[in-house]
């Protein structure tokens, strides 16, 4: 039989071993990576910007891990190719959450890829930051959704607001508009807003049609638009049809005072280079261009690093469009986690609704619906493009900001029909 002193020593030794095991376990857990999951278009028509957004995200992962991670834990990024196919998105997020057991999720690129992920994310209660998704939360009203692009509290209307406000500065003022877009989620939302804004300004809508997403010949569409003789043409299109419409507009010789508005794809280096001087006079939305009025802290350094890797990574060589915002949304997420010292989804969401964030894409804060109340959707006009050299798009004065007024770097050139350079 053990003496009580021996028993006490054994008990203390066992207690010490338990404490040591707990400490080792806690340390091991602390060293486990924080897993962030996402889908991204790495193939298909959205791959041009999806791959660029992924590189922007990977640069953030490298930066944050070099600083010791978040909460003392490294970051591990898990991503799958959604192939630019909305039907694949729900399965990807189900796998990320249920099989990969990620701690956090981020969206893929574009409205059509973000919307189908929402039901899965909502059912699991995850925070979700949408990357270039137009008014997605209008239909879901999810209190843990946030939009990384500053589109205002009414993004459906904000997307075309600048187009009309700039158009109405012309002399004489326009009185008619043609509205056209692809039969797809983004285009429906954008053209709905364009329609409502046109009515607010008293503009007569003389053409209002959609076209199938698989359309390849756009000349008949342009000729049908021309037959209505509109002063303005607002187009909401995805990359392949944006390029097709620009070529058709030039081929058919569209006569109008202003053309553009919502052309997705013209922000990509590949399309800029492909279309070259055909872009002159076109106005479209954007989020960042190298104009002197946009000089957010850290943006130039980020782009220098991104561009130095772009060729070897086989991605957009400019990186103006999604990469800064892909990086910025991870900055927002990191700041929220560090402030709450938690990975609890509710705590993170509650903090994001009330805090302000400093990012390379500018200051950000989020309203009740997750949209950013301080709208900063740019309207740019291509001016002075010569040939197809890509480096000219790194220069100021080629993608002139004409809206909003506080960020304007030049004036509108019109009418569109007469602009060749």
Q: Output the domain CATH number for residue 205.
A: 3.40.50.2300
Statement: residue 22 has pLDDT above 70: no
The DSSP code sequence of 132-167 is S-SSTHHHH--TTEEESS---S-HHHHHHHHHHHHH
Per-residue model confidence as pLDDT tens digits over 201-252: 999 999 999 999 999 999 999 999 999 999 999 999 998 999 999 999 999 9
Q: Which helix (H) or strand (E) holds 236?
A: strand 232-237
**83 and 185 fall within a common domain:** no
The pLDDT assigned to 45 comes to 86
Whether residues 272 and 400 share a domain: the answer is: yes
Asked whether residue 347 is domain-assigned, the answer is yes
Q: Looking at the domain assignment, is residue 2 inside a domain?
A: no
Q: Are residues 270 and 385 in the same domain?
A: yes
The answer, yes or no, to whether residue 25 has pLDDT greater than 70, is no
Model pLDDT for residues 122-147, shown as the tens digit of each residue? 999 999 999 999 889 999 999 999 99
Report yes or no on 18 lying in a domain.
no
Do 147 and 185 lie in a common domain?
A: no
Q: How far apart are CA 200 and CA 419, in angstroms?
A: 28
- Let me know if residue 9 belongs to a domain: no
The answer on 274 and 183 residing in a single domain is yes
Verify that 205 and 336 share a domain, yes or no.
no
Tell me: do 174 and 288 sit in the same domain: yes
- Look at residue 213 and tell me if it is in a domain: yes
Q: Please tell me whether residues 139 and 162 are part of one structural domain.
A: no
Same domain, 42 and 77: yes
Structural domain tally of the chain? 2
Question: So what's the pLDDT on residue 243?
Answer: 97
Distances (CA, A) of 171 to 91, 235, 396, 403: 52, 22, 27, 18
Range of the domain at 105: 33-153+295-365
pLDDT in tens, 188-205: 999 999 999 999 999 999
Are 57 and 148 in the same domain? yes
Residue 370 domain flag: no
pLDDT tens for residues 257-301? 999 999 999 999 999 999 999 999 999 999 999 999 999 999 999
Residue 24 lies in a domain: no
pLDDT computed for residue 263 by the predictor: 96
Tell me the percentage of the chain whose pLDDT exceeds 90. Answer: 88
Q: Which residue has the tokens 């990576």?
A: 33
Neighbours of 123 (CB within 10 A): 11
- DSSP conformation letters of 359-379: ETTEEEE--TTSS-SS---EE
pLDDT band for position 419 (cuts 50, 70, 90): confident
pTM for the whole structure:
0.84
One domain for residues 333 and 285: no
Q: Does 402 lie in the same domain as 253?
A: yes
């Amino acid at each position: 039989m053990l003496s009580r002193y021996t028993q006490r020593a054994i008990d203390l030794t066992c207690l010490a071993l338990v404490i040591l095991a707990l400490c080792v376990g806690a340390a091991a857990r602390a060293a486990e990576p924080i897993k962030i999951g996402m889908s991204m278009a790495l193939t298909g028509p959205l791959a041009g910007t999806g791959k660029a957004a992924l590189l922007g995200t990977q640069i953030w992962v490298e930066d944050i891990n070099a600083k010791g991670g978040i909460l003392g834990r490294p970051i591990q990024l898990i991503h799958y190719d959604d192939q630019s196919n909305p039907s694949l998105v729900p399965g990807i997020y189900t796998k990320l959450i249920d099989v990969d057991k990620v701690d956090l999720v981020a969206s893929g690129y574009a409205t059509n890829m973000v919307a189908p992920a929402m039901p899965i994310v909502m059912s699991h209660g995850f925070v979700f930051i949408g990357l270039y998704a137009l008014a997605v939360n209008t239909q879901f009203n999810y209190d843990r959704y946030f939009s990384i692009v500053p589109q205002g509290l009414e993004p459906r209307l904000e997307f075309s607001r600048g187009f009309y406000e700039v158009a109405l500065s012309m002399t004489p003022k326009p009185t008619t508009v043609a509205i056209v877009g692809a039969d797809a989620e983004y285009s429906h939302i954008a053209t709905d807003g364009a329609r409502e804004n046109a009515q607010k300004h008293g503009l007569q809508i003389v053409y209002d049609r959609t076209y199938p997403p698989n359309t390849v010949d756009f000349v008949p569409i342009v000729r049908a638009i021309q037959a209505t003789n509109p002063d303005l043409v607002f187009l909401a299109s995805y990359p392949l049809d944006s390029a097709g419409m620009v070529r058709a507009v030039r081929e058919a010789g569209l006569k109008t005072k202003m053309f553009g508005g919502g052309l997705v794809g013209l922000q990509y280096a590949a399309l800029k280079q492909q279309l070259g001087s055909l872009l002159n006079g076109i106005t479209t939305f954007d989020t960042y261009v190298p104009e002197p009025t946009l000089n957010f802290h850290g943006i130039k350094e980020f782009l220098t690093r991104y561009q130095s890797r772009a060729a070897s990574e086989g991605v957009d060589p400019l990186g103006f469009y999604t990469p800064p915002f892909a990086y910025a949304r991870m900055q927002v997420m990191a700041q929220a986690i560090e402030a709450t010292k938690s990975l609890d989804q509710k705590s993170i969401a509650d903090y994001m609704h009330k805090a302000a964030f400093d990012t390379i894409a500018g200051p950000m804060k989020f309203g009740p619906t997750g949209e950013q109340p301080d709208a900063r959707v740019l309207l740019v006009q291509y001016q002075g493009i010569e040939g197809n050299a890509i480096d000219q798009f790194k220069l100021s004065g080629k993608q002139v900001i004409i809206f909003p007024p506080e960020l304007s770097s030049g004036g509108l050139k019109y009418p569109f029909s007469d602009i060749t350079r």
